[in-house]
Amino acid sequence: MSVLRAPTTAEPAAGTRTGRGRDRAAAPRTARLHRALPGGMWTREWLLSLARPRSVVVKLAMPLVLAVPLVAGHAPTFWAGMLLTVLVAMVGAVGSGVALARARSGGLLARLAVVPRSPARTVGGWVLAAAAVDTVQMLPVAAVVLAAGAADPAAAVALLLCIPAVVLATNALGCALSLLADGPGEVLLDVIVVLAPLLFLGGLFSGVPAAGWRHWAARLDPFAYLHSGFAGALGGSPGVGTGEVIAAALITAALACAGLGLLSRTLLERG
Amino acid sequence: MSAPAAPVAARAPAVEALAVERRYRGGRGAGPVDLRVERGEVLALMGPNGAGKTTLLRLLASVDRPRRGSLRWFGGGVEVARRSLGLALDSAIEEATLSGMQASYFWCRQWIGDGAVARVAAAEALRDFGLWEVRDEPVAAYSFGMRRRLALAQALAHDPALVLLDEPTAGLDPAGVQALVDALRRRGARGQAGVVASNDPNFTAAAADRVAFLSRGLLVRCAPPAELLAAVSSGRVADLELSPTAPALDPPSVEALPGVERVDLRPGGATVRFRDPALLPRIVAAADHPGGRLRQLRLHEPDLADAFRELTGEELQQEAVR
């Protein structure tokens, strides 16, 4: 999406600029960001995410605070993979769920509902950008894991595909849960209530049985594949093959996009 | 600037509601209501809290769908509405970390495909509402009034054929209110319509071609301001603010004064309408007895809030300082 430059001296104010002092004070760090113009939800979301440098640093540091001790302490790969999978799941679902619930209570969704753009384009741009931001947030974790685990290239590719796919799916899940919640605070509880059983079914808490319904449930659960991807990248024994992780990542991403497309109109019109 | 509206029927009204109704649990909401806003017309919705102004505005904006009845915009359906609308709700602006220019441009681009045109339109709207100097500052640094101005700039920047504004003068200073009145008048001259939900009698009298009084979700009266004011055009109005700790005012004691037309009690005070200005000292004396009860008095010509009281028997809660 194109990012245009705002008018500066070419389109001067009708009156005089009495706020020069404030302009200078506001200018330094974020002046360039504040002049990039968002034409759609994708750019808008990126600008909102990058506008506060402290927030960017905290977002990048938070997953590392968990990942580095796990890797440096040589935690068992099963449990390390579980914690990192839970982290990825929570980051995606909570972020989008809370953002949408807040946007709904603030009237933003109502305003977006009446623009002459397709809901899928609006919601899609928004959630894809949110998922991209979340993926960037998780990339340092992936780098630490891959560096420490000395994973083979295929396992690395599988992990690097599976993280954004699961992030996208959990963002979509967060959007769906925001429809049920009465406010941003409730979304957090709803996310935990829904994610915990899904993580359990993915075998994160107790492993995947070799047969039975839980075995098949795990085969359908994207968290099982991400867990396997982390475990494999950390040098452990993955539950499923690298090829399956890659295929699961692609299918998960496609289903998440389709789900968002189906949900988009409802998401906006419930605003 | 290119107007994004694409009216489908040249003579169709900007918006027409036929028996629309949307009620919530407990009976709140609006309808059934019949309403028609012509092109070039500004309609104001007035009514106390819970009268259904916002519900009706959201229906007219196609944000909510009516449970009963139908709506047409420029003779067409929701798709036509969404090409033609500008909307400002009374809620907070979400884009706190964006600059004013970014936030304004973003909404412009939702209607205007050409980025350069949208940039000029957003800049013009910011200038119209006095925000050009602070266009590159984050919205978070804006005062409440500046955020309200930004919301109005966002709603009007793409030059919509129909604009819907909820409580637009709340938080605005007199210059901001005047800028809005001017903008609505300019738009009206170009054939563009507007619906504003506002209990600010001075603003509605200045900006609206017609005013719709709502009570309990129903349209009680809809007429030009002058016609509504004719119901209360004689005499003057004294708004009395009374001490909450003193005994309540006894209306008959004031109504008994010759020349007093009407006394309406409201929380924290009373409104007295009277004909003869010479009567004022006696009204003050009656209101202030026992001594010290009267805290403040404001004298004014009858306005639309008085007309509303006269015609509905209800008091308007006002969102803006008169």
Question: Of the ranges A20-34, B251-265, B291-305, which one carries the lowest mean pLDDT score?
Answer: A20-34
**Contact call for A103 and B87, based on CB within 8 A:** no
Give the residue-averaged pLDDT of B299-305: 88
- How much is the pLDDT for B318? 60
**Contact call for B99 and A35, based on CB within 8 A:** yes
**Contact call for A6 and B135, based on CB within 8 A:** yes
Minimal Cα distance from B92: which residue of A? A106
Taking each helix axis from N to C terminus, what angle separates A77-105 and A119-149, rounded to the nearest 10 degrees?
Answer: 160
pTM (2 decimals)? 0.82
Task: Assess whether B65 and B196 both reside in one domain.
Answer: yes
Minimal Cα distance from B109: which residue of A? A39
B123: contact with A, CB 8 A cutoff: yes
Task: Assess whether B25 and B132 both reside in one domain.
Answer: yes
Query: Which residue among B82, B105, B123 sits closest to A114, beta carbon to beta carbon?
Result: B82
Q: Is the pLDDT of residue B1 over 50?
A: no
Q: Total structural domains in chain B?
A: 2
Say if B9 falls within a structural domain: no
Task: Assess whether B223 and B240 both reside in one domain.
Answer: no
ipTM, 2 dp: 0.81
Minimal Cα distance from B90: which residue of A? A107
Segments of B159-292 assigned E as strands:
162-166, 193-197, 210-215, 218-223, 236-242, 260-266, 269-274
The bridge status of strand A36-37 relative to strand B68-73 is: unpaired
d(CA A240, CA A159): 12
Provide the pLDDT confidence category of residue B284 given band limits of 50, 70 and 90.
confident
| Residue range of the domain that includes B185 | 15-229
- How much is the pLDDT for B276? 80
- How much is the pLDDT for B319? 54
Task: Assess whether B200 and B295 both reside in one domain.
Answer: no
CATH at B151:
3.40.50.300
Q: Which of B229, B247, B262 is the last residue of a domain?
A: B229
Q: Are B106 and A44 in contact (CB under 8 A)?
A: yes
User: pLDDT tens for residues A131-177?
Assistant: 999 999 999 999 999 988 877 888 899 999 999 999 999 999 999 99
CATH at B253:
3.30.70.260
**Contact call for B98 and A23, based on CB within 8 A:** no
Which positions ≥6 away from B174 have C-beta within 8 Å? none
User: pLDDT tens for residues B139-194?
Assistant: 999 999 999 999 999 999 999 999 999 999 998 999 989 999 999 999 999 999 99
Task: Assess whether B123 and B138 both reside in one domain.
Answer: yes
From the list B219, B129, B206, B138, the residue with the least C-alpha distance to B175 is B129
Which positions ≥6 away from A82 have C-beta within 8 Å? A199, A204, A205, A227
Kindly give the confidence (pLDDT) of every residue in chain A, 271 residues in length, as a single tens digit, with 9 standing for 90 and above: 333 334 443 343 333 333 334 444 444 455 677 778 999 999 999 999 888 888 899 999 999 999 999 999 999 999 999 999 999 999 999 999 999 999 988 889 999 999 999 999 999 999 999 999 999 999 999 999 998 887 788 889 999 999 999 999 999 999 999 999 888 889 999 999 999 999 999 999 988 888 889 999 999 999 999 999 999 899 888 778 889 999 999 999 999 999 999 999 999 887 6
Task: Assess whether B117 and B259 both reside in one domain.
Answer: no
Q: Which of B229, B256, B285 is the last residue of a domain?
A: B229
Query: Which residue among B63, B99, B115 sits closest to A114, beta carbon to beta carbon?
Result: B63
